[in-house]
Amino acid sequence: MKVKYLIFGIICILWVSCSNDPSSSATVVSTEKWSLTVPLTSDSGSIEIMKHSDSSITCTGNWYYEFFDYPITCKIMSGSVIKDTSFLSLVCTGTAAYPPDSSGKVESSPFTLNISGKFKSGKASGDWQISFSDTVWNEWAPDPGKFTGKLQSGSGITD
C-alpha cells in the first residue's frame, strides 16, 4: 500500500514540475525596443515589448526620474501589454531604488507604472503614471505626465 502512495506522489511531483517548466511556456516571436522620454525633464524609459507565440504581449525595462537631483531607477521586472490597433496600454511592476547615502544604505520600494498611448510608425506618445507601495515614496512620486517615444529596434508588434 505504501508503494502505491509513493508512486502516486512521484507522479504528482513530476506532473507539477513539468507543468511549471519555463521551456513549456510560449516563446517570443517578435520584439521591439522603445526609448521613451518625458518632455522638458530628464525622465526617461527604456521598454522592451515582446509578443509571444500564444499572442500574449509582455514588457520589461527601466524607468528613470530625478528626485532632488538624484536619479531614481525603476527596474521593470514584468509587465503586461494590451494592444488595441496602434494603442498600447502597459501595466508594469518592479522595484524602484534611490541611490545609496553616505552610509551605503539604498532605499527602495515596489512600484506600478502605467503607460498608455499611440505606438505607430516608429513613434509613440501618450500618458504615464507611477505609484509606489511605500506610502512615503508615494507622497514624493512625480506627477503623472506625457511621454514621447521612438522605436530603437525590432518589429512585428506595433504598426
Please state whether the predicted TM-score (pTM) of the whole model is above 0.85. no
Query: Could you say which residues of the chain have pLDDT below 50?
Result: 1-23
In the chain, the amino acid numbered 4 is: K
In this prediction, residue 139 carries a pLDDT of 87
CA angle at residue 140 from 135 to 142, to 5 degrees? 120
14-26 per-position pLDDT tens digit: 343 343 444 457 8
Cα separation of 129 and 83, whole Å? Answer: 18
Cβ atoms of 63 and 76 closer than 8 Å:
yes
* 27-155 CATH fold: Porin (2.40.160)
pLDDT tens by residue, 46-76: 999 999 999 999 999 999 998 888 889 999 9
As to burial, measured by CB atoms within 10 angstroms (0-12 exposed, 13-18 middle, 19+ buried), residue 87 is middle
Domain borders along the chain are 27-155
What per-residue confidence (pLDDT) applies to 147? Answer: 97
